[in-house]
Amino acid sequence: MRVLVTNDDGINAPGLIALARGAHAHGWDVVVAAPAHEASGTSAGLTAAGDMRRVAVERRELPGLPGVPAHAVAAHPGFIALVAAQGAFGDPPDIVLSGVNRGANVGRAVLHSGTVGAALTASINGARAMAVSLDVSLDAEEGTHWDTAVTVAAGLFDRLAALPAGAVLNLNVPDRAEVDVPKQATLAEFGAVRSRIEDTGDGAIALTAVLVEGELPPGSDAALLAEGHPTVTALRSVAEDPGLTL
């Protein structure tokens, strides 16, 4: 399998390096291409920092991955997944792994995630894809159990490879040393963390993250993850709605 590993936390993120190592150890042909700088919350956006439509790409050597091509791209992960499908980093990937993201991606808010956006972009271009996120708490300076997330993800690698082209999985893993096998979950209407607008009083808008009070929907990705279980949800990318008549 030809595999692209990307993320939205940037080329130097520990979760990206851990996931690339896991894919390489699985025996896959790995190439890494990730934003040169953090690009969280960019969904499947195609914004790129370039001059005259030229996007800067810099070769990197990532720790623990000798011989694995790595590229720092001045663009969002959706752009990276799109151009990878067109051969920007060698042969188009069969599989795209996006992550390991610092922070969970659960509920319908996955729409806004650059991590998930890369996976969805890959899927509409014929690749199988999996977004992987570590549930790092809001007050934590950094996640610590990247290897846990990669171990859980690696347990799904062969199943992912056997899925039809265009399939997308969204995996969330608790930030713990040991976890059980992932539970298949529905998308919650909202996650354990929600965005809230605060009036700054100076004509600007401030968007902050707050913890949600109350019970989360049973069986949802948000609820199961809050209980300490890894969750996996199959996502559908952009498609027509045959049930809607105008």
Maximum separation of any 2 CA atoms in the chain, in Å? 56
Tell me the CA distances in angstroms from 43 to 19, 39, 235, one per residue in order. Answer: 20, 9, 14
pLDDT at 54: 83
pLDDT digits (tens, 9 = 90+) for 184-230: 999 998 655 555 666 667 777 765 655 555 578 889 999 999 999 99
pTM: 0.90
How crowded is residue 99: how many other Cβ atoms within 10 Å of its Cβ?
33
pLDDT of residue 17 exceeding 70: yes
- List domains and CATH numbers for the chain: 2-189+217-235 (3.40.1210.10)
Angle between helices 14-25 and 146-162 (to 10 degrees): 50
Give residue 215's pLDDT.
75
Position 52 scores a pLDDT of 64
Which pLDDT score is estimated for 138?
62
Please name the residue that has the structure tokens 């890494």.
Answer: 32
pLDDT tens per residue across span 129-184: 999 999 997 666 666 899 999 999 999 999 999 999 999 999 999 999 999 999 99
Q: Which helix (H) or strand (E) is 149 found in, with range?
A: helix 146-162
Task: Check residue 87 and give its pLDDT.
Answer: 97
Dihedral sign from CA coordinates of 221, 225, 226, 228: positive
Q: Give rounded-to-5 percent helix, strand, coil for the chain.
A: 25, 30, 45
